Every structure is written in structure tokens, then in C-alpha cells.
Amino acid sequence: MSELRTIREHIRDISGLKDLGAPFFTATVTKVSDTDCSVMYGALELSGVKLFSIGDPGTFLVKPKKGSLVTVADLSQGKLRDLVIIKADKVELIKYAENGLTVEIDSVSKKVDISNNTTSLTKLMTAVYDIISKLTVSTPNGPSGTPLPPTVMALEKFKTDFQTLLK
């Protein structure tokens, strides 16, 4: 048995996979999709590495950037078959979706989305803009007109700013 063990250790040393069989290892992301990625582990490229460990795809998703270092859990106990990312040093998307609530932070588009089954933060901010831009109030001479140019300019800046931040 010791000869087999020695051979196995030499193969690990040659391949650069000294942690082979460890429940966790560090690798570099080479490709990313919406549900999985490929990583370089020593000289070996592993594909189909899940971005989520349990639940439906996207329930809690952390999408690493290509080239980032990730910690991978090997749920197949050293067979390198059931792999999942559990930590990433550079992330391009974080998405949480549960019971109709969705929170998404996207560093690629540099935007945030918060929504539920009935509305979203973007819809609410658009409604606030629409309400203020058409606001009239009662005066002794009847209803007032629409907002004056300084208010309209401030509203347009508000609209541009929230559209820059929200999806």
C-alpha cells in the first residue's frame, strides 16, 4: 500500500494538485455563465462548477469575475465532480430571490434592483418623479400651474441620477 500512496503523491506533485481530495481548494475562474463557471486548479481546468450549492439556481447567486480567485468546495469528497463556489475575491453579480423578493447588485452595469411581486424601487422612484413634475396646489385664484423651471431642472437631475443607479 505504501508504494501506491507514494505513486499517488508523486502524481499530485507533478500535476500541481497537492490539495487533491481536500474538501476545499482555491482556484482561478476562467469562464462564467449564469449558473456555473470553469476554474483552473493547478494545471487542470474544471468546468461545471456551480455558483450555488443548494436550492434552485438563482435563489442566492454570487457570480465571480473572470480571473478572480475562488474557494471551491468539493462535495464529491475528492472526486472533483460536485463542485461549488463558496467564496470569491471579485464579484460581478450578487442576486437574492426568495418568496417574491429580489435584490440584485450588478457591478458590470453598476446598477441595483430591488423588487417584489407587485412593484420595484425603479417603479416607485418613477412614480415620485411623475407626481412631483405634475404637482399642482390650490391657491386663492384656483389651481397652480406646473413647477417652475428651477424645479423642473432639479427633477430632471433626480430622474437621471436614479436611472443611473437603478435597473
Residues 8 and 55 in one domain: yes
- 106 located within any domain: no
Residues 140 and 67 in one domain: no
Q: How far is CA 41 from CA 12, 13, 38, 44, 58, in A?
A: 12, 13, 10, 5, 25
Average pLDDT value over all residues in the chain: 87
Query: What pLDDT sits at residue 126?
Result: 95
Q: How far apart are CA 73 and CA 70, in angstroms?
A: 10
Whether 160 is covered by a domain: the verdict is: yes
Give the number of domains in the chain: 2
Residue 6's domain is classified under what CATH number? 2.40.50
Are 83 and 131 found together in one domain?
A: no
For residue 124, give its domain range: 119-165
For residue 4, pLDDT over 80 is answered with no
Tens of pLDDT, residue by residue over 44-70, are: 899 999 998 666 665 888 899 999 999
Does residue 65 form part of some domain? yes
Model confidence pLDDT, tens digit, residues 73-100: 988 877 888 899 999 999 999 999 889 9
